[in-house]
Amino acid sequence: MTELEYIDLKECILAENEGDAQEVRDLLKEKKVFLWNIMSSPGSGKTTFIIDIIQRLGEQYRFGVIEADIESTVDAEKMQALGVPTVQLRTGGGCHLDAAMVMEALKKMPLDALDIIIVENVGNLVCPAEFDVGATLATMLLSIPEGDDKCIKYPLMFTVTKAVIVTKMDVAPYFDFNFEALEHNTRRLNDDLRIFPVCVKNGEGMEAVVNWLTDQFSSYL
C-alpha cells in the first residue's frame, strides 16, 4: 500500500499570508502610516466606535478607513460622509480579511496624506484572529450583551489583541456580565491585555481609550 500524501492547506495559506503581512508592514513603515485592525462580533458597535474616535482625534491625525463586509457598503458610506478616505472590501462570503486584501486596499488610498488607517474587519470572532493583516495595532470590541465568556469560547482573539473595548455599558444593568470573570479569564490568555469599559453614546470611558490610543500612535508616528 502506498503512503498517504496530504497537504495542510491552512498551514500553506497562513504561511503565504505571513509574507504578505510583512509587505504591508514594510510599506506602512516607509510611508509612516499606522494601521489599526479592529475586530469583533457583528453588532458590537465597531462603526459607531470608529466614528467617535475619528471625531475626537480628527484634528490631530489624518484618518483613512478600510471597511470589510461580506456584501454591503453601509458602513463605508458612513465613513465617506465624514469626509474620510475610505475603501470598501467586499469579501463575497469570506469571513475575514487577509494581508493581500489589505494591500489591495492600500493601493487605493492616499498614503502620503494619511497618518492612521483603521481596518474595520469582518464581524467574526474566529477567522479574523487567525490572519495577520500587517497591522501596527490589533484591538477588539466586546459588547455587554455578548457576555463575559467569549474569551473562553474564542481564546485566540483575546491572545492576538492588545486591548478589549467593552461596549454598550449603558445596558450593563440589564445583563449578567461579570467583569471580574472577564479579567480573570483574559489574564490567563494575555497578561498584557488592556480592558476598557465604554459607552460611546454618553462618552463613558472614551477619554481613557483616546489617551491610550494617542500613546500608541505617538510611539509609532
CATH assignment at residue 96? 3.40.50.300
Check residue 7 and give its pLDDT: 46
How far, in Å, are 36, 170, 208 from residue 204 at the CA level? Answer: 22, 9, 9
- CA 96 to the chain's CA centroid: 11
In the chain, how many domains are there? 1
Check residue 96 and give its pLDDT: 76
In a domain, 111, yes or no: yes
In a domain, 45, yes or no: yes
Check residue 22 and give its pLDDT: 95
The alpha carbon torsion through 78, 81, 82, 88 (nearest 10 deg) reads 50
- Is the pTM here over 0.85, yes or no? yes
Check residue 61 and give its pLDDT: 97
**Mean pLDDT of successive 10-residue segments in the chain (221 residues)?**
54 72 96 97 95 96 90 78 90 79 95 97 91 96 97 95 97 96 94 96 97 96 84
In a domain, 145, yes or no: yes
Residue 55, domain extent: 15-218
In a domain, 8, yes or no: no
In a domain, 9, yes or no: no
Angstrom distance (rounded) from CA 153 to CA 202 = 30
Check residue 39 and give its pLDDT: 96
In a domain, 194, yes or no: yes
